Amino acid sequence: MNMKTGTLKQILLITDGCSNQGEDPAAMAALAREQGISVNVIGVMENDTIDEKGLQEIESIALSGGGISQIVYSKQLSHTVQMVTRKAMTQTIQGLVNKELQQILGNSTSMEDLPPDKRGEVMEVVDELGETSKLEVLVLVDTSASMKHKLPTVKDALLDLSLSMNARMGDNKFSVFVFPGKRKDVEKLLDWTPKLEVLTKIFPKLTTGGITPTGPAINEALGYFHKKRSLRGLLSHDDESFFEETV
């Protein structure tokens, strides 16, 4: 199969609760989605539980960001981070494929309407793209005070993520941001790179802050994608050409 692969863009937000400063993070996630960037959220619990308000926020960020949310105990973080990233990729590709199907087969058609055999064929294309697409993940880590003792686990989970993703045939780029930053809402820890191993050195030196400016952090992260992609245009524009040669 000869396929043109585009770049899948994701923000991965790792947090343990509620934002308390700046714009509504769900609105910022919606803004991301408009630009073809999906926002996934992982809520990390220790033995404590996340309060109802935090839970709702996590769900609504992912929902309006077109991504996936998952609440986990920190012990399961590694396995969850790679699974959420993968599921989100599949979901995005699935969405693009569905759009393509509708153009060919008429508006009301989606994967569910196809007979199982045809569905299997579509899924082969989705799997193929999941394996070969370029992937950019911008990781946003909440480093407010309550996250402090979870940071070593977060680091391990991110190393595990790069292990999983780098086993794919497609290229990967990761970048890592933390919020709140020293002077700004968000601070860059690691520039776009295929390898996350460097984190082992950087992470232990992190200081934690008091506030949780989740919304502003997402907003700034977006700007970072823009700069990288300004030449090629937004993914939402790519969409049309994305599958030109596919079906």
Partner 1 sequence: MMTNHSLRKQCNLLPGSLITGKWNKNPYRIQQELGYGANGIVYLAESNNGQVALKLSDDYSSISSEMNILKSFSKVQGHSLGPSFFEADDWLKNGRPIPFYVMEYIKGEGYSAFIEQKGDSWVGVLMLQLLSSLDELHKQGWAFGDLKPDNLIVTIPAYKIRCIDVGGTTLFGRSIKEFTEFFDRGYWGMGSRKADPQYDLFAVAMIIINSFYPKRFSKKGDGYKQLNEMIKQKKGLHPYSKVLDRAVKGQYQSADEMRHDLLGILNRQPEHKKVEAQSTFQGKKNNNSTSQTRSMRKKRKKKKRGLLETLILAIFVSILYVLYVYNQFL
- Between 51 and 197, name the residue whose CB sits nearer to partner 1: 197
Q: How far is the CB of 8 from partner 1 (least distance, A)?
A: 14
Q: How far is the CB of 159 from partner 1 (least distance, A)?
A: 10
In whole angstroms, give the CA distance from residue 234 to residue 247: 22
Q: How far is the CB of 202 from partner 1 (least distance, A)?
A: 20
Give min distance, CB of 187 to partner 1, in A: 29
Cβ closest to partner 1, residue 114 vs residue 211: 114
The closest alpha carbon to 5, from 140, 168, 157, belongs to: 168
Radius of gyration over alpha carbons of the chain, in Å? 18
Q: Which residues contact 18 (CB under 8 A, 6 or more apart)?
A: 51, 53, 54, 57, 212
For partner 1, the closer of residues 61 and 77 by Cβ is 77
Q: Which is nearer to partner 1, 3 or 83 (CB)?
A: 83
For residues 28 and 97, which CB has a smaller minimum distance to partner 1 in the complex?
A: 97
* Cα–chain center distance at 130: 14
Q: Using an 8 Å Cβ cutoff, are 44 and 74 in contact?
A: yes
State both tokens at 184: 């700004």
Instruction: Find the shortest distance in angstroms from Cβ 124 to partner 1.
Output: 6
Q: Residue 148: left (phi > 0), alpha (psi -120 to 50), or beta?
A: alpha
Contacting positions for partner 1 (CB under 8 A): 70, 75-76, 78-79, 83, 86, 90, 94, 111-112, 115-117, 119-120, 122-124, 126-127, 131, 160, 163-169
**Are 218 and 57 within 8 A, CB to CB?**
no
Q: Of 159 and 211, which CB lies nearer to partner 1 in the complex structure?
A: 159
Cβ atoms of residues 71 and 58 within 8 Å:
yes
| Distance of closest approach, residue 120 Cβ to partner 1, in angstroms | 5
